[in-house]
């Protein structure tokens, strides 16, 4: 039992640090993203949540949560996206080919979109370059040491993305309520 308690304390510490870094590294982007998404709600558009792999859960949360994201719809393939819409794309990694393909289509159609992905926005991060706003979760590998030397386990991509979602939602709700 003692080992599990230690592991839980280490996990709690690492998760706390991850959330703190995600918050402090994305302060400006949180406001920018909320402003971008509010454009759709204040206009005649929708906020379309497009998540890949486990990140699809952010869209489920936006639509079905106790406090849903006003104007939110989940992305479905072949759905028509209009110029008044705004898209919020969630990917585990900025190199996810499906996310990149979708981002390229949005950019070609001049539809502004926000992105949450693991990696920081660098010169060779095409997803960050295409996005109107970009936030990095900071999860690019496991946050705990694994059994094997050099291995890492526990990749809380979704947890970090949901934290950023909630931060944006608070700012977004404030902006949208001011317009009512």
Domains in the chain: boundaries: 2-179
Instruction: Summarize pLDDT for 102-155 with one digit per residue, the tens.
Output: 999 999 999 999 999 999 999 899 999 999 999 999 999 999 988 888 889 999
- What integer pLDDT is reported at residue 146 of this predicted model? 86
The highest-level CATH class for domain 2-179 is alpha beta
- What integer pLDDT is reported at residue 4 of this predicted model? 81
Residues lower than pLDDT 70 in the chain = 1-2, 180
Closest-CA residue to 90 (of 36, 160, 143, 22): 160
Number of H helices, E strands in the chain: 6, 7
Contacts of 6 (CB under 8 A, 6+ apart): none
- What integer pLDDT is reported at residue 2 of this predicted model? 62
pTM of the entire predicted model: 0.95
Asked if residues 82 and 127 have their Cβ atoms less than 8 Å apart, the reply is no
DSSP of 66-99: SSPPTTEEE--TT----TT-EEEEE-S-TT-HHH
For tokens 């608070």, what's the residue? Answer: 170
CA dist 157 and 118 (Å) reads 7
Asked if residues 92 and 117 have their Cβ atoms less than 8 Å apart, the reply is yes
């Amino acid at each position: 039992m003692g080992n599990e308690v230690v592991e839980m304390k280490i996990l709690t510490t690492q998760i706390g640090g991850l959330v703190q870094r995600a918050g402090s590294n994305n302060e400006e982007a949180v406001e920018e993203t909320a402003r971008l998404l509010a454009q759709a709600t204040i206009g005649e558009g929708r906020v379309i949540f497009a998540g890949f792999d486990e990140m699809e859960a952010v869209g489920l949360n936006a639509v079905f949560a106790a406090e849903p994201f006003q104007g939110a719809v989940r992305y479905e393939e072949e759905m028509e996206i209009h110029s008044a819409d705004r898209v919020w794309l969630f990917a585990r990694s900025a190199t996810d080919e499906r996310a990149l393909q979708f981002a390229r289509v949005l950019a070609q159609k001049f539809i502004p979109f926000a992105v949450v992905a693991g990696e920081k926005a660098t010169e060779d991060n095409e997803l960050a370059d295409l996005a109107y706003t970009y936030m990095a979760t900071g999860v690019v590998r496991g946050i705990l040491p694994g059994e094997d030397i050099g291995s890492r386990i526990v990749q809380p991509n979704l947890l970090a993305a949901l934290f950023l979602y909630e931060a944006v939602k608070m700012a977004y709700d404030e902006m949208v309520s001011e317009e009512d």
